[in-house]
Structure formats: structure tokens, C-alpha cells
């Protein structure tokens, strides 16, 4: 059915992502990526890491498939922000009910909400 072994690759990517959730990156209540997203820098962070690991592929430790797994993982995180409502769900749990008309609720946005302060 699959011409490029996508089913095997998806299984490998899932195993890689599962391992990240049991690694030292996941030992605190929130991962650094979640904090970066909460501060409004998620897109730049994800897209920057996608570029970083894509450009590194083949240069550091050869054609290390973990670099491509990281590209895929950061792309999935970006997809979750833009297309699967992750931000709204996280904000609902973090600061209450989501309100599209409410001012931004992170420290970096305070100046935007109160430009004369």
C-alpha cells in the first residue's frame, strides 16, 4: 500500500516522540517548548528548529535520522498550534475560558495591551 514505507517511518517517529516525553526535557510540569508557545514565540521557535535540523541533516553524524525526526516533531508541534487548536486548549486550562476578545495574557504582550504604561 505504501510506496515509501510511510507506515514504518510513522511508527519510528511516534517511538521517537514518545521517548522525548520520558526524557529529561519532560521532567517538569511544563516543557520549555510549552512555555515558549505560551509566550507567543511558538511559530518562530518551531520554524527555526525545523530549519536548524533540516540544514544539519547529513553534516553532523552523517545522515542521522534523528535530525529528520526532530524536523517532523517540530512540524507536528507547529501543526498543533495552527490547525488543531492546541493554543486555545492550553490557555483554557492555564488561565480560564478562552475569549477571542480578551487582551493577550502573557508578559511579553503586556506592553501591547497597555502601550502608555
Write the pLDDT tens digit of every residue in 1-59: 899 999 999 999 999 999 988 876 667 788 889 999 999 999 999 999 999 999 999 99
pLDDT of residue 91: 47
- For the chain, what is the HEC assignment? CCCCCHHHHHHHHHHHHHHHHCCHHHCCCCCHHHHHHHCCCHHHHHHHHHHHHHHHCCCCCCCCHHHHHHHHHHHHHHHHHHHCCHHHHHHHHHHCCCCCCCCCCCHHHHHHHCCCC
Q: Which domain holds residue 22?
A: 6-113
Whether 1 maps to a domain, the answer reads no
Q: Does the pLDDT of residue 95 top 50, yes or no?
A: no
Whether 87 maps to a domain, the answer reads yes
Whether 50 maps to a domain, the answer reads yes
Confidence band, pLDDT 50/70/90 cuts, at residue 90: very low
Q: Higher-confidence residue: 100 or 24?
A: 24
Whether 94 maps to a domain, the answer reads yes
For residues 86-103, give the mean pLDDT.
51
- Sign, Cα dihedral of 108, 110, 114, 117: negative
pLDDT of residue 85: 74
Task: With 0.85 as the threshold, say if the pTM is over it.
Answer: no
pLDDT of residue 84: 85
Total structural domains within the chain: 1
Amino acid at each position: 500500500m505504501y510506496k515509501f514505507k510511510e507506515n514504518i517511518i510513522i511508527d519510528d517517529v511516534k517511538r521517537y516522540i514518545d521517548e522525548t516525553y520520558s526524557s529529561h526535557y519532560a521532567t517538569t510540569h511544563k516543557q520549555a517548548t510549552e512555555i515558549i508557545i505560551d509566550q507567543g514565540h511558538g511559530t518562530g521557535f518551531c520554524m527555526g528548529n525545523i530549519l536548524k535540523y533540516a540544514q544539519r541533516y547529513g553534516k553532523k553524524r552523517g545522515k542521522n535520522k534523528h535530525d529528520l525526526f526532530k524536523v517532523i516533531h517540530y512540524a507536528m508541534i507547529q501543526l498543533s498550534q495552527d490547525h488543531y487548536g492546541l493554543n486555545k486548549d492550553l490557555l483554557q486550562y492555564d488561565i480560564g475560558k478562552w475569549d477571542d476578545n480578551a487582551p493577550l495574557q502573557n508578559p511579553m504582550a503586556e506592553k501591547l495591551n497597555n502601550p502608555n504604561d
